[in-house]
Every structure is written in C-alpha cells, then in structure tokens.
Structure 1
Amino acid sequence: MSPVPPGSPAWISVRKVTLLTQVRLEEIEGRGPAIAHTNRMSSLLPAILLALLVVQGCVIPSARDHGGFIVDGEKANALLCRPEGKGPFPAVVYSHGRATDLQAGGLRGGPLCQKLATDGFLAFAPTRDFYSRAGRVNIPINLAELLQALDYVKALPDVDPSRVAVMGHSRGGLLTLMAGLKRKDLKALVITAPAEIGPYFSRAVASIASLNTPVLLLVAVDDDRGSLGAVNVLDDALRKHGKDVRTIRYEGGGHYLFISRTRVEWYWWDDLRTFLREKLR
C-alpha cells in the first residue's frame, strides 16, 4: 500500500500494533523473570511499531523524519496526524498514560490522533518508554520529554506555533498540567482523568496561581482510579484563583472513557472539539 499523499489525513491503523503490545503487557504483569524479557523487547518496540505503520501505508510520507524524534539519546516513536488542506494548522500534543492504558486505548493515542486531524488539528503523540519509565521517580524525565516534544511541534512548518495545546490522560494528564505551569506559550490544556501522583500533583495544585492557560477538565464520575477526586481538587484550586477552567463530569465510562477504541463511546468528543476550536481559533 502506498503512503498517504500530502493533504490527506494520516489514518493510522492500530489493530495489529495493539495485538503486539498486548503480549508484552501480559508478560510484564506476570511474575519473575518476564520483566527482564519485556525490558529487552521495549527497546525494540518503537522501531517495530513504526515499521508496522509504514508497511500498512498509514504514516504520512515524512514519517521517517518524525520517527527520528530524539529523547534522552533514544529514538522515540511518535504518531503525527495531519489534517486535509493547507497549513499552518493549530496543533495538539498528546501525552499518554501508563502501560496498562494500552489495553483499553490501543496504540498510545492512535484513534484520538486520527479524530483530531479530521477536525482540523495537527496531532502529535510522542511515546514514552512504558516499562523503564513508569515509576513516579521518572515524572521529571517524562515532563522534560513532553516539553521537548512541544518545541519540536512548534517548529514544524505545518504548525502555527501560536496555536498549540496540550492534552493528556491519567499520568499524561498530570504531565499536561505540569507543562502548563512551565510554559507560557500554550493556548489550552486538556486534562482527562488525571493521575494524583505524589508529590507532583499536590505541588502542581499549590502552584496554580501562576497558570495563565485555559483548562478543560474531563472525568467520569465512576472513575475507579481516583481521578474524580483529583479533578475536584484541581477545579477548586483553579476557580479559587480565578482561572479560565471548564470542568465536565460524565455519568459513565470509567477511567478509560477518554481513550476507548470504540468511537461510539466518545460522547464527550463534542465538548473537546468546542473547547479546542474556541481556544485555538
């Protein structure tokens, strides 16, 4: 299959990749020596994932350049979905959650990347090393990677650097908040079901007074990972300091509502699209 031509959405198939990573997840959640095996495999995973996407003709022609995005001396795979038409486009950088999110959401933001491009946003989803950088001690490393990804996206010729937002889920939601506190050049933050990882979450909430970026908070009331409480705390802090915040609590879907592979479950999408169009216009 030939690569997607310029001007077409970068439709990315995640079915085969999901099956591949599912095996790795089952092994890492086991006991004993399987951890060492998955750590070895994780070093090959970015190249394998990109190869699958290229073979299926699902990556835009310049994907090899984007696949060379370097983080801490390691090649980090990434998804880039370009809208139809002529740029420069507003952009959304997506920060994923931890490894087990793969089981619910497929390839690290793939369906969401596609949907953002369909609605006119250039979407870039860098990937972290799930297995060796999943602990709370690595939050600063994850944040540095996200900030570097922002610089990278802002420099892309198809991107309007004055219209860039960050969106993140779970661990990625916390990282999105932290990035918003570090950067003053972002137009919007979208935080879905944020993880309350200590001490970073409490420190971020304590620094809310310095935030100058509009925030959209999304969470399901039946979230069983503590994200509803985190959203309530964050919402209170933002409103106390007079910040531009929009908080929406949905009645069903749980923690994985916002990364579901089933599009019919995305009943929250119109709220996201409305917010992004308003803030990135």
Structure 2
Amino acid sequence: MPHSDPALDELERYVPAVAEPEDFDQFWRSTLAEAATRPVLVDVRPEPTDLRLLDSWDVTFAGFGGDPVRAWYTRPAGVSGPLPAVVEYAGYGRGRGLPHERLTWPVAGYAHLLMDNRGQAGLYGAGDTADPHGRLGGPWPATWGILDPHHYHYRRLITDAVRAVEVVRALPGVDAGRVAVLGNSQGGGIALAVAGLVDDLAAVLVTAPFLCDVQRAVTLSDVSPYGEIGRYLAVHREAEGAVRRTLSYVDGVTFARRATAPAHFGIGLRDTVCPPSTGFAAYNQYGAATGRPVPPPREMHVYPFNGHEGGEAVHVRRQLRWLAARLGPTDTASRG
C-alpha cells in the first residue's frame, strides 16, 4: 500500500516530536563503553583479487559483545597514503559480498571499509558474519529481540558500526582525522546513528534512511523492513508498547539531533520503503541537540519521481563532489 506523505513544502517543515527515552544517552554510553573494553582490531589479511589498480584486505574486528565482524578494506594500489577514509554500511538483508562489488569510493581515491551486516546476509547479498545472540521476537532481523532494547538486533548492529569507525582509524594508510560514514536505506539509518554517537566524523552521507521517525514509519509502509514489524504486531498485538519502547532507542531522528558532522542527504519522494517524511524528520532536526548556536552544515537532494532507488548514479556523482569538497584531495601523488 502506498504511503501518504505531505507535499514537498510541508516535508521541508516537518519536525515531529519523536519519542526520546530519558536514558537514551546513558543506554548508548554504557553499550559502547562495554564494547570498548576489548581491542578493536582482530585480524587483517591481504585478499587476492583480479583488480590491478586496487588492493584489498579481509578485516575482522571485535563488534558488540566482542563478536567477530567481517569487513573489506580496499584502497588504491601503490598509494602509501595517508588517505581520507569512507566507512560504508550495507542495506537490509545484504552482506559485504565480494571485495570487487563496491568500488566507487576506492576508485575515487579513498580508503574504503565496507562492514558486513551481522546475521543478515542471504536475502539480497552474501556475507559471513554471524549474529550469535538470541533471536526472540519475529523471524526477520528487524524483529529480532524487539521486545527489549538491550536484546534488539539494532543495538548490536549500531555498536558494530561505531566500532567500524574505530577499526578504520587503526588501519595503515588512513588519515584518522578525515573519516566519513555513508549508507543507503538501512545503511543510511546506521550512518545517522554513528553520526550521533561519534562526535569527530568529517562527514556523513545518507540516502533513503531506514529507522527514522520509526514509530510513524511502521504505520505508513507495508513493505520490508517496516512491514516486518507491522506483521509481527499483527500477531503479537499485546507487544505494541514494548516494541515502541525498543524502537525509541534506535530512532535515526534522535541520533540525528546529536550529530555534529556536515551531512549530505538524498530522498526519492515516491519511496514506499522508507517514506520521505521519515527521512525529512531526521534532516530537519539534524544537529538540533548539539547545543551549538549554528547547526552543522547539511544539504538535501530530492528526486520527485524516484522511489527507494533515489537518484542512483546522479546522486552518487553529487556525493563524490560534495565529499571531495569536504575532505580535500586524496594522495594519489604518492603512487609508486
């Protein structure tokens, strides 16, 4: 069923009062503090590929609970760096795939870390990171552990994502002061969460973000992933209060309010997966809770006739140009 969203001029003014738990900040401080008790970098191994212009490594790092999380680290071959880095988060149901599947950012001259999604691979793409924790709740990742924020799948995935920023800064040839995070759909929602939890990022790039204004989103979209939450509640009617409480700890609007990095957004106005109003809710409140007199720079690109695919290659070109202006040149002069 198509969503029902306001016109663009109303979306540009849409500032919903998103439920924010009183212990939201403490919840995430304690979660990340527990993760930080373990060294982040577990293993780095060169990954043979047939790409002569790029070098890749198979990275394992300690995520939530110390669980091993896999990632691909890829950079221009023969460049000693240090390079600005891009940490990318994959969409729902996807894994990291193979190292040659996502080449835009390393080909553009960046060090690129692509994080695997724990437990999610197999729906749209391959991956090899398990989620060994209990899956009480519905049968889909969006509903695993949904009755308690401490057990929710996205607590684990967001923690992994923060740790991914830490690990890229620990890798050789990375300029730790020039690290950006980005993602589309679920990856966009995860990038927003990281932007709200890590206060020294250089930039954040978000398209069609999932998990924003999530209480409203589950009433607007019947398709996955929001539809999975709705289908769970259609059976477990008594669970609505607990589910809404859990979702309030992972809402991208609440994270966006705390973000300090410059931000680049993209949204298709015909998106029925992540309704446009939910992304605008995050954009319109981005940086609002930082206490700064002027919020961090942000810009929005709207695609009136596109859905969840957004602006595709046109939007990626805009991202490339915007990020280059923010992070400065890559060090291709050091190529051997």
TM-score bucket of the superposed structures, by smaller chain? 0.5 to 0.7
Matches within 5 A, 1:56-71: 57=50, 63-64=57-58, 66=59, 68-71=60-63
- The change in CA–CA distance for 1:147 and 1:63 in structure 2 (over 3 A counts) is same
- The change in CA–CA distance for 1:243 and 1:201 in structure 2 (over 3 A counts) is farther
Instruction: Tell me the CA shift for residue 63 of structure 1.
Output: 2.1
- Which residue is 2:142 aligned to? 135
- What stretches of structure 2 of length at least 5 have no aligned partner? 1-45, 122-129, 132-140, 144-151, 216-246, 290-294, 329-336
- Which residue is 1:237 aligned to? 285
- Which residue is 2:11 aligned to? none
Matches within 5 A, 1:197-212: 197-198=214-215, 199-200=247-248, 203-206=251-254, 208-212=256-260
TM-score (norm 1): 0.66
Answer yes or no: is 1:186 the counterpart of 2:201: yes
Residue identity matched to 2:302: R
Q: Distance in 2 between matches of 1:135 and 1:109?
A: 26
Matches within 5 A, 1:104-123: 107=97, 111=101, 113-123=102-112
Q: Distance in 2 between matches of 1:159 and 1:229?
A: 36
- Which residue is 1:175 aligned to? 190
Larger Rg: 2
Instruction: Tell me the CA shift for residue 150 of structure 1.
Output: 0.7
The answer on whether the counterparts of 1:239 and 1:245 sit within 8 Å (CA) in structure 2 is no
Q: Distance in 2 between matches of 1:185 and 1:240?
A: 17
User: In structure 2, the residue corresponding to 1:266 is in which secondary structure?
Assistant: helix
The answer on whether the counterparts of 1:188 and 1:215 sit within 8 Å (CA) in structure 2 is yes
- Which residue is 1:157 aligned to? 172
Instruction: Tell me the CA shift for residue 271 of structure 1.
Output: 0.8
Q: Distance in 2 between matches of 1:240 and 1:116?
A: 30
- Which residue is 1:126 aligned to? 115
Tell which deviates more after alignment, 68-77 or 212-221. 68-77
Answer yes or no: is 1:92 the counterpart of 2:86: yes
Q: Distance in 2 between matches of 1:149 and 1:257?
A: 26
The answer on whether the counterparts of 1:191 and 1:215 sit within 8 Å (CA) in structure 2 is yes
Instruction: Tell me the CA shift for residue 121 of structure 1.
Output: 1.2
- The change in CA–CA distance for 1:253 and 1:207 in structure 2 (over 3 A counts) is closer
Instruction: Tell me the CA shift for residue 235 of structure 1.
Output: 2.2
Residue identity matched to 1:268: H
- Which residue is 1:81 aligned to? 74
- The change in CA–CA distance for 1:251 and 1:209 in structure 2 (over 3 A counts) is closer
- The change in CA–CA distance for 1:151 and 1:54 in structure 2 (over 3 A counts) is closer
Instruction: Tell me the CA shift for residue 254 of structure 1.
Output: 2.4
- Which residue is 2:265 aligned to? 217
The structure with the largest helix share of the pair is 1
Calculate percent identity across the aligned residue pairs: 21
Instruction: Tell me the CA shift for residue 256 of structure 1.
Output: 3.3
**Residues paired across the two proteins, number:** 217
The answer on whether the counterparts of 1:94 and 1:167 sit within 8 Å (CA) in structure 2 is yes
Deviations 1:115-143 (A, max 9, x none): 11111111110101206762252111001
Note the aligned Cα RMSD (angstroms).
3.2
Residue identity matched to 2:109: G
Instruction: Tell me the CA shift for residue 257 of structure 1.
Output: 4.4
Q: Distance in 1 between matches of 2:83 and 2:50?
A: 23
The answer on whether the counterparts of 2:56 and 2:74 sit within 8 Å (CA) in structure 1 is no
Instruction: Tell me the CA shift for residue 54 of structure 1.
Output: 5.2
The answer on whether the counterparts of 2:57 and 2:74 sit within 8 Å (CA) in structure 1 is no
- The change in CA–CA distance for 1:218 and 1:79 in structure 2 (over 3 A counts) is same
User: In structure 2, the residue corresponding to 1:213 is in which secondary structure?
Assistant: coil
TM-score (norm 2): 0.56
- The change in CA–CA distance for 1:150 and 1:239 in structure 2 (over 3 A counts) is closer
- The change in CA–CA distance for 1:207 and 1:117 in structure 2 (over 3 A counts) is closer
Q: Which fold has the larger relative contact order, with Cα–Cα distance below 8 Å and residues 6 or more apart in sequence?
A: 2
